[in-house]
Structure 1
Amino acid sequence: MNITRNNVDALNAVVTVEVNKSDYADKVQEVLTNYRKNASIPGFRKGAVPMSLIQKQYGKAVLLDEVNKLLQDSLNNYLVEEKLDILGNPLPKVTEDFNWDTDDFKFEFELGLAPEFSVDLAAKTSVVKYNVVADDTMLNGQIARIQKQYGKVVAKDKVEEGNDVAGIFANEERGINNRTTLDLEDLADKKAVKSIMGKKVGDVVTLKTKGLFNDDHKLMDVLNIGHDDVHGLDIEITFTIDEVIGYEPATLDQELFDRLFGPKAVTSVDEMKAKIKEDAERQFAQQADQKFLNDVTEFLVESTKFDLPAEFLKKWIQTTGENPISEEEAATEYERSEKGLRYQLIEGKIMKDNNLQITFDELKDYTSGLIKQQMAQFGQMDPTDEDVQGIVARVMSNQDEVRRLSEQVMNQKMLDLFKDKVKAKTKEVNYEDFVKAMYGELKH
């Protein structure tokens, strides 16, 4: 057997595999001999069927099978030995006049080669790393909501200040028909608030969506519409009131503190505010980290330039599914997946350059931490190590779970690396401005 490679260019190559009769003859003969031993053909005793008859009946099929096995093994070994970094899988070149009746065969395979490139994590970027703080406005609002949540609900005859109003928002032309409960303090349009004040159950109020809230994204929940539809939405909607809800706010006393945070964990309003701030900013930090990771990823995909063997990959896409697809469909799928492929290559390069690896102990410790968090949520604050490790063993016996957890661990390693090496501007914002930044509406 002889294997040679012709590099068409930096991203494409053709591998030629020449298979001689001596490479497969013994194996084919062995298989046919076994067939002869077990063959049951009328007119012949078992094991006494002439080899010529076995050859005639099974020879071609066995030849094809054994040559294909030999091809796969030899090609895979060649790729490993040559340390070729390929994209997709080798694609056999179709030969219209291929002849299986000869003794020696020649097969050609197209390869798509991974590009060579470098990743500069220290390059100048426009990425912003947000430090999200819970300001007094947010904290006071959260305390007011807690007082309302744990207060006494009182049905009201008409809308008064501090009430919530439940009803149906509707606009027939836009297909809007959604029941929601509205906190009047969330409304930015004072005219809208005034038009609702004093109304009773069954009354219908016409409102304008433009400027109804300080943040247009609130319309997504209130009207049950998508993100792309809320920007600049300027229509009239009817609001049919079906319930007016009043509250007697809960007293900020030790009974409420214990109910919220556990016995004596908080003993004053100031401590309550500090606890809410701590918990909120911990959640904000997780969201800010995710945005930072996403933004750096986007920057690296845009700024790291390299070519891909596009035509090869489109051909490969045509062959990967259960059913064949057209060239046009393959081109569309390639366009859709190109950015993801680019980041996979960039991520692999970063991992190799910075020796980012996941050890079994790291994965085990991470899984253990997640399980303890979940158990704490169900009141098991101090589980035994034996119980935790038993669950860890069951989780890690599931390959899909191991893959998912490994991705989470590697994401954290990438995040830590980006925080250390990527030149990003740090900006402190409140949560409202962070949400705007998430949707690209906050200027840096």
Structure 2
Amino acid sequence: MNISKEQLDDLNAVVTVDISKEDYTGKVDKILKDYRKNANIPGFRKGHVPMGLVKKQYGKAVLVDEVNKLLQDALHKYLTEEKLDVLGNPLPKEQENFDWDADDYSFEFELGLAPKFDVKLNSKKAITHYKIVASDEMIDNQVNTIQKQYGKLVAKDAAEKEDLVAGVFVNEEKEINNPTTVALEKIKGKRNLDKFLKAKIGDTLTLKTKGLFNDDHDLISALKITHDEAQDLDVEVTFTVNEINKQELADLDQELFDKLYGPGVISSVTELKERIKTDSELQFEQQSDQQLLNAITESLLENTQFDLPVEFLQKWIRTTGEQPLTEDQAKDEFEKSEKGLRYQLIEGKIISDNNLQVTFEELKDFAKDLIKGQMAQFGQMSPQDKELEDIAARILSNQDEVKRISEQLMSKKLLNFYKENAKLKTKEVSFDEFIKEVYK
């Protein structure tokens, strides 16, 4: 067997694999002998079928199968030993008048080669890394939400602006019949609010759905309808008042602090607000980090230029899918996937050049940290290491889980690498400012 490579250009090559009769004869003969031992052919005793008949019936199929096995093994070994970084898979070239009755065979494969390039992480323009801080207003709102959650309801005969009114929304035509509780602070417009404020228990109000709530999501919840159904919904509904309650806020005392965080962890309103600030900003950090990854990805794509074997890749897309594509379809598919392929190559280069590969020990430790975090949510603050080891072992025996956790860990390693090496500028913003700037 002989394998040679013709370099067409920096991104394309042709590999030729020559297979001689000596390469496959031994394996083909052995398989045919096994066939002969077990063949059931009418007129012959088992194991006594003439070899000529066996070759006639099975020889060509066995030959083709064994040559293809030799071919694939040889090609894979060659690409590995020569350290050829290929895109897609080798594509066999069409050969006219190929003759399987010959003794020796020659096969050609087209290769699309990964480009050579350098990654410059430090772009001319610094990338913004947002530090999202919890504003005093946000913290105060959270404190108020906690007080409401742990407070109590006091029944009333008449409603005021901050009260809760329980009842049933009905519209027979739209098949709406939903019991719910309405927070009057969410009602939009003085006319609608006045109807609730004047109502007594047992009264039925007639309301228009359009402009009933400040937020359309509250309308979806109140009527139990879909988002699409809520779009431009403008019908009359009735609302029968069953209860009117005042939300009495819980006192900000030690009893409440202990319910929230455990005995003695928080002992004052100041400490409560500091804890809310810390927890909120920890959650914000995840959003900030994801935005940073997105921004660096775009910067790398913009500033790292290289060519791709476009013609080869379009041909590969056209011929290797479940259904063959036309040239135009393959071109469209390539254009859709080109950006992702380019970043995949850039990311791979960064990982390789900076030894950021994930090791099994790192993967196991990362999985154990994830498990500890999940257990902490259910009050298990100090699990035994053996317990963590056993759970991690079960999780890592699942290949889908290994892939998912590996991707999470690699994302974290890349993020840390970018934070240390990319040209960044930190900008402190509130959460609302972050949303406005990033999602304009």
TM-score class normalised by the smaller sequence:
0.7 to 0.9
For residues 165 and 433 of structure 1, the distance between their equivalents in structure 2, rounded to whole angstroms, comes to 34
Partner of 1:132: helix, strand, or coil?
A: strand
For residues 184 and 127 of structure 1, the distance between their equivalents in structure 2, rounded to whole angstroms, comes to 44
Tell me which amino acid in the other structure corresponds to 1:361. Answer: E
Residues 1:88 and 2:88 are matched in the alignment: yes
Question: Which runs of 5 or more residues in structure 1 are unaligned?
Answer: none
Deviation per residue, 1:34-84 (Å, 9 max, x gap): 222222322333332222111111111011011101110111111112211
For residues 339 and 56 of structure 2, the distance between their equivalents in structure 1, rounded to whole angstroms, comes to 52
Structure 2 counterpart of 1:363: 363
Query: Deviation of residue 415 (structure 1)?
Result: 0.5
Query: Deviation of residue 157 (structure 1)?
Result: 5.6
Tell me which amino acid in the other structure corresponds to 2:437. Answer: A
Deviation per residue, 1:164-211 (Å, 9 max, x gap): 4678799x99xx999986655568x77688667626464345587699
Partner of 1:307: helix, strand, or coil?
A: coil
Structure 1 counterpart of 2:18: 18
Gap change, CA 1:135 and 1:412, over 3 Å in 2: same
Deviates more, 1:197-206 or 1:403-412: 197-206
Structure 2 counterpart of 1:309: 309
Structure 2 counterpart of 1:203: 205
Superposed, 1:177-326 pairs within 5 Å as 183=183, 185=185, 198=197, 200=199, 202-206=204-208, 212=214, 225=227, 241=239, 246-326=246-326
Structure 2 counterpart of 1:432: 432
Partner of 2:252: helix, strand, or coil?
A: coil
Tell me which amino acid in the other structure corresponds to 2:68. Answer: N
**Identical aligned pairs, as a percentage?**
55
Question: Which runs of 5 or more residues in structure 2 are unaligned?
Answer: none
Deviates more, 1:64-73 or 1:108-117: 108-117
Gap change, CA 1:366 and 1:179, over 3 Å in 2: farther
Query: Deviation of residue 317 (structure 1)?
Result: 2.5
For residues 411 and 315 of structure 1, the distance between their equivalents in structure 2, rounded to whole angstroms, comes to 32
Q: Tell me, yes or no, if the aligned pair for 1:3 and 1:15 is still in contact at 8 Å.
A: yes
For residues 324 and 79 of structure 1, the distance between their equivalents in structure 2, rounded to whole angstroms, comes to 26
For residues 436 and 210 of structure 1, the distance between their equivalents in structure 2, rounded to whole angstroms, comes to 26
For residues 422 and 221 of structure 1, the distance between their equivalents in structure 2, rounded to whole angstroms, comes to 45
Structure 1 counterpart of 2:118: 118
Query: Deviation of residue 90 (structure 1)?
Result: 0.8
Tell me which amino acid in the other structure corresponds to 1:198. Answer: L
**Count of matched residue pairs:** 431
Query: Deviation of residue 414 (structure 1)?
Result: 0.4
Gap change, CA 1:10 and 1:44, over 3 Å in 2: same
Gap change, CA 1:267 and 1:224, over 3 Å in 2: farther
Gap change, CA 1:338 and 1:16, over 3 Å in 2: same
Structure 1 counterpart of 2:58: 58
Query: Deviation of residue 321 (structure 1)?
Result: 3.7
Partner of 2:101: helix, strand, or coil?
A: coil
Tell me which amino acid in the other structure corresponds to 1:59. Answer: G
Structure 1 counterpart of 2:340: 340
Q: Tell me, yes or no, if the aligned pair for 2:195 and 2:205 is still in contact at 8 Å.
A: no
Query: Deviation of residue 366 (structure 1)?
Result: 1.2
For residues 213 and 311 of structure 2, the distance between their equivalents in structure 1, rounded to whole angstroms, comes to 50
Tell me which amino acid in the other structure corresponds to 2:197. Answer: G
For residues 11 and 212 of structure 1, the distance between their equivalents in structure 2, rounded to whole angstroms, comes to 58
Q: Tell me, yes or no, if the aligned pair for 2:192 and 2:212 is still in contact at 8 Å.
A: no
Residues 1:143 and 2:126 are matched in the alignment: no
Q: Tell me, yes or no, if the aligned pair for 1:132 and 1:281 is still in contact at 8 Å.
A: yes
Query: Deviation of residue 7 (structure 1)?
Result: 2.6
For residues 303 and 49 of structure 2, the distance between their equivalents in structure 1, rounded to whole angstroms, comes to 69
Structure 2 counterpart of 1:162: 162
For residues 15 and 379 of structure 1, the distance between their equivalents in structure 2, rounded to whole angstroms, comes to 61
Gap change, CA 1:194 and 1:320, over 3 Å in 2: same
Tell me which amino acid in the other structure corresponds to 1:131. Answer: K
